[in-house]
Structure 1
Amino acid sequence: NLITLVVDNARLHTEKQQRIEQLATLNARYIASNEQLKVTHERLIKSEKRLNDILDSLDSVVWSMVPETLEVLYLNQAAKDVSGRAVEDFINDRQLWMSIIYPDDRARVQNSLVESIRTGMQKITYRIVRPDGELRWLFQHMHVVYDKAGKAERIDGITVDVTQHKFNEDLLKQRNEELQLALDKIQEVQSHLLQSEKMASVGQLAAGVAHEINNPIGYINSNLTSLKGYVEDLLALLAKYEQAEAVFADAGRLAEINAFKRQMDLAFVKSDVLDLLAESHEGAFRVKKIVQDLKDFSHAGGEDDWQWVSLHAGLESTLNIVNNEIKYKAHVVKEFGDIPEVRCLPHQLNQVFMNLLVNAAHAIDKEGTITLRTGTENDTVWVEVSDTGKGIMPEHLSKIFDPFFTTKPVGKGTGLGLSVSYSIIKKHNGEIKVDSRQGEGATFRIILPVDSSAEK
C-alpha cells in the first residue's frame, strides 16, 4: 500500500506540474491575445479617428440617416460650414434638415427621398436657407442600403455646396446673353456696313450709269424730234388730200399732191417711221433694264432672301451695271460652263461680282481682257474673274481682304470692297481665293456649295 501511495502521489505530482504548465501556456496565450486585442482596438480607434478626420476635412457634407424617421446616424463637420448650424443640432432635431430647405424646393426634395427608396439612388439640386438668410445651392447624391429582407435600412449621401458653381453658371449665362446682344449688334452694324459699301459702289458707278442712261435717252429724244416732223408732214399731206377730195378730177391739184409727196419722200418716211419707233422702244427698254439692274443691286441686304437663282443671270445683270466702267478699257470674254442653280442671297453675290469686275477694270491701265468663267467641282459651283492688268504685289496678297486696306489713291476706294466680299462668301459657306503675279494680272475664284443656306 505504501508503494501504491507513493506511485499515486508521484503521478498526481506529475499531472499537477503538467496542469500548471498548461495553465501557464493558456495564460500566456490569453495575455498575448489580450495584448493583440488592445493593439487592434487602438488601431480601430485610430482608423476611425483618421476616417472621421478625413471626412471632417472634406468641403462636402457626408451623412447617413434612417429613411422613415430621418434620424441622423452620421454627419461630418462640413454640415456646419454649409448650413451655418452645428452638427449636434441636426442629430438632436430630426426635422431640422428638412426645415432649412428653401420652401419652393422642399416638396421636390421629399419626393426625391421617396423615389430613392424605390430606385436605390437619386441625384437632386436644391437650395437651403442659412441663419443669416443667405441662400446656398446644394447638389446631393443619395444611395440606399437595404437589409436582407429588402427593406431600406439607411440612406447614405454626399452633399456638395455648388453655390459658386451656380453663380458662375448664371454669370456665364448672363455673359452669353450679353455676347449674343453684342453679336446681334455687330451683325446689324455689318449689315449697315454692307449697305453703305453697296451705296458707295452705286455712287462710284453713278456717272457711268448716267452716261449709259443718257445715250438711249439721247437718241430717243432725237427720234421723237424726227417723228414730230414726219407727223407734221403727214398731217399736211392729209390736209391736202382732204382739199382734193372735192375736186379730185382737177389735174393741177393732183400734180401738186404728187410733187409734195416727192418733196417729203413719202416712201422713206413710211419705212423710217417704223424703224424710229422700234429704235425708240429698244432704247426705252435699255433704260428700263439699267434702272432695274441698279435697283436690284441697291436692294437692302437685310431684306434679301435665300433663293435658287442662276449665277449666269447675276453676272449678266452686274455686267450691265458696270458696263461703262469696263467697255473703254477691257474686252469681256465669257466662258460659262453648265452649272446648276445655286441657293444664295442673289443681291449680295451680285455685289461681290461687281466688286471683282470693277477692281479688274481698275487694274487695267489701257486695254486688256476680263474673262468670266464658271464651272462645277464635286458638290460646289465656282466663278472666276480674271484680268490681264498689273496684278497684285506679293506683300499685299495677305492683306487684300482686310477692312480698309486699299492700294488705290485717296478718294478712289474705301478699302471695304474685298473685305465685304469675303464676308458675303463666308456667309454662303464658301471660299474666295486669289492667284496673281505682278505684271500678269489676277484671278479671283469664288467657290460656293449648291445650297449655300445649309449649315456646315
Structure 2
Amino acid sequence: MEFEDFDFITSEAPARASEPADPLQRLKYLVDNTPAIIYSTVPSGDFKMTFVSANALNVLGYRPEEMVADPNFWFDHIHPDDAPNIFSSLAQIFSEGERAYEYRFRRADGRYLWMHDQLRLIRDAQGAPLEVIGSLTDITDRKQMEETLLQAQNMASIGQLAAGVAHEINNPVGFVTSNIGTLKSYADTLFELVEHSTSAEQRRQADFEFMKEDTAALLRESMDGLRRVRDIVQALKDFSAAGESQWQMADLHEILDSTLNALASELRFKIRVEKHYGKLPPLRCLAGQLHQVFRNILLNAIQAIPEQGVIRIVTGGERDGVSVRIQDNGTGILPDHLGRVFDPFFTTKPVGSGTGLGLYLAYGIVQKHGGRISVISEPGKGTAFTVHLPLRAEPI
C-alpha cells in the first residue's frame, strides 16, 4: 500500500533552558502541532479566513497562505450536501456565541474528510463582533466506525425481521401447497368421470377440452408460484443466518443457488447467469456467512454492468479444497484501484452510495474459513473474483 508524502511543518526547537523562552514562539509551536486545525475568520459576510495554523498542510494538504488568500475557500470546500445546513444556521453564532458542525471537507487530493468544526465568536470590549475562532478536527475514523456499527445493527435487525417473515410465510405456503396438490388430484378424477359419463356433444357444449387444459395450466402455474415463494422464504432464512457461528457440512451449490434466488429482483431482465458447476463434496463451513460473501461479490458484479450483461459462475474441486469463480462482463476495475478493493471503506462509488465494506467483509469471512480470495480485472471487459476454500476449515 502506498503512503502519501507530506512536507510536515516543523517549528524551531524551544530555547535552551539557560535562555528565556519566547511566549509567542511557544504558542506558535503549540498551535502548529495540535491535532486540530486552528483558524480565525472575519465575523461577517463570507467569513473569510484571516489565519490558519500550519498543520492544515498535514491534515488537508493545503498551505495556510492559499487558504487565507481565497475569500471563499472555506465555503467552496464543504461538501455540497452538507453546505445548506451550515449556511442556513451560521448567523446564529451572533446570538448564541458558538456553534458546532460536522461536515465533509475536500482535501487537496479530492477526497473528503469528515471534520468537527467548533466555532466561537470573539467580541471586543464594547461587545462588537471582533472575529470568529474555530478548530477543525478530523473525525473520519470515528464516522466510519459509526457507519460500520450502524450497518451491523441494521443487518442484525434485518436478519431478525427476515427470520420472522420466513416463519410466518412458511405456514400458509405449506397448507396452500398441500391444498393445491389435493385439488389437482380431485380435478383429475372429476375430468376423468366427466369424460366417461357424458356424450361428445355435451363435452363440446361445455368446452370440456379447454376447461381440462386450462385447469391443468392454472394448477401448474400456481404450483410454480408457490415454489418461487418457497425459494424466497429459504433465501430469507439463509440471510437471517448470515451471522451464525455454527460450523456445519453444507452443499456449496445450494449456498450459491440460494444467494442467486435472494438477488432475483436485481438480476431479472438485466443479467443472464451462466452456471458451470463442477462436482463438489460437502464443505465444512459457516453457510450463512458464505452466503454473505457470494452476495457481496454478486452485488458488485451486478452494479458493474450498466445495462445488459452476463455473470458466469464456475465451481471446481482443488487439492483439499474447492474454488468458486464469479466473473462479469461489466465496466471492470482500474489498475490503480485493483489493489485496494479489499481495503475497509474503499469504494469507487459516488459519495453516499457505498460503504466500501462489502468486499472487506467478504475477505474477512474467507480468511476465517482458512481460504483466500483473489481478483483480476480489465477496464471495459469485466472482473473475476475467485474464492478458494478448504474442505474442512478450522475456525480461525
Normalised to the residue count of structure 1, the TM-score between the two structures is: 0.43
Larger Rg: 1
- Larger helix percent: 1
Q: TM-score, normalised by structure 2?
A: 0.49
